[in-house]
Amino acid sequence: MTRYISIRQCIPLLIIFNSGLMIAPTACQDSVETRLEFMKDLPADALKSKYRILISECSSNHIEELQGLAEEFTLKSKQNSYFIKNGDLVQLQTGDYSSKEFAKARLSWLRENIKKCSLVKANNDSIILMVVFKERNCLIRTAADETVQREITAEINDALKSEALDLSLWDKPKYLVANTAVNEDYLSSEEKKVYYYLNLMRMNPGLFAVTFLRYLKDSRNYYESSLLKDLKRLSPKPLLKPDRQLFETAKCHAIESGISGYVGHIRKKCKYDYYAECCDYGMKDALEIVKHLLIDKGVESLGHRQICMMDLERLGVSIQPHKTFEVNAVLDFDFFEMNK
């Protein structure tokens, strides 16, 4: 059935960057083994580096305050940046210089804007987080990220070993957190499952592709084949958490549309109280709703797919009767609300 997308007016166009998941750096507590594995995966330029430029430093408790600066600086300078553990402090360093002469030339250029930057020796053994400049975008990596990625890859490979569909990989305790709406008594069982399946996809996109969407592996349909490619490239995303206010606005629109048989996003009495919205018609089963929105067949912009893969964190889901399609589901998304 048809699915529709809406993003509130007066909000910037939806753009998906090829960037990794920004994770709060917990690598300061990583084991020696984990950090050594992380060092093995450093870019070749980093491994050859003898000098870097120190931009700033802060206590370990305030490391997140440097992340925005690191990403901005990496994009502007088009060179990698690194977070270096130095006792109780964390230093933000940039560049990979094999010679002191080249490093000094760059240092002179940087001092026009950053007066206190200085030249330091490269110390890869103390890197806890890095911001990689790649294809005009930033990819933020931590030692913890590398461990998670190896686990994700192993699970995907295990799923591919068997010719038969095996969903038991999703029974691991770590995936229980995907069921974020399990205790919300205002939601129906199918509405709760929408959160669950969307979150499984966001936790391990590749595994979702080779399990729940395994039947699409030989498809020549553009929408189906492109979804598998997108899931293969997608980095894990934050879990979507239930929000009562978003549920109410989704429910209002689902009921209003259902009574009249309307298809679309224009509301008569309901508030536009969301950032992005997906509507699905004709699907009663939660997994089918999620798959419908992800495949996004017939929607040239693939807007539903993009919304489901965005760094959004709050969601309201309502499934209601529909005069024309028997049933309709409305999913209203928004970002994390700091004051909530």
Please list the residues that pair with 194 across neighbouring strands: none
In the chain, domain spans: 3-14+169-206+219-334, 27-134
For domain 27-134, the question of CATH label 3.40.50.2300 is answered with no
Dihedral over Cα of 75, 141, 170, 227: its sign: positive
Residue 286 has a pLDDT of 98
Residue 137 has a pLDDT of 60
Task: Answer yes or no: is pLDDT of 102 > 50.
Answer: yes
pLDDT class of 145 with cuts at 50, 70, 90: low
Poorest-pLDDT segment among 37-51, 192-206, 233-247, 315-329: 37-51
Q: What percent of the chain has pLDDT over 90?
A: 48
Residue 18 has a pLDDT of 25
> How many angstroms separate the CA atoms of 296 and 305, rounded?
6
> How many angstroms separate the CA atoms of 312 and 305, rounded?
13
Measuring CA to CA, which residue among 318, 273, 20 is closest to residue 142?
20
Residue 183 has a pLDDT of 96
* Mean pLDDT along residues 3-19: 33
Strands 241-242 and 314-322: parallel
Task: Answer yes or no: is pLDDT of 10 > 60.
Answer: no
Task: Answer yes or no: is pLDDT of 107 > 90.
Answer: no
Residue 147 has a pLDDT of 64
Residue 108 has a pLDDT of 85
Task: Answer yes or no: is pLDDT of 8 > 60.
Answer: no
Poorest-pLDDT segment among 22-26, 76-80, 125-129, 278-282: 22-26
Residue 68 has a pLDDT of 75
Average pLDDT, whole number, for the chain?
81
Task: Answer yes or no: is pLDDT of 32 > 80.
Answer: no
What confidence tens digit (pLDDT) does each residue in 253-298 have?
999 999 999 999 999 999 999 999 999 999 999 999 999 999 999 9
Residue 81 has a pLDDT of 85
Q: What is the CATH number of domain 3-14+169-206+219-334?
A: 3.40.33.10
Helix H or strand E encompassing 190 = helix 189-203
pLDDT class of 242 with cuts at 50, 70, 90: very high
Measuring CA to CA, which residue among 110, 101, 59 is closest to residue 81?
110
Higher pLDDT, 22 or 289: 289
CA 202-149-172 angle, 5° bins: 65
Residue 154 has a pLDDT of 85
* Residue 164 phi, psi (nearest 5): -90, 150
Query: What is this structure's pTM?
Result: 0.63
pLDDT class of 322 with cuts at 50, 70, 90: very high
Residue 228 has a pLDDT of 96
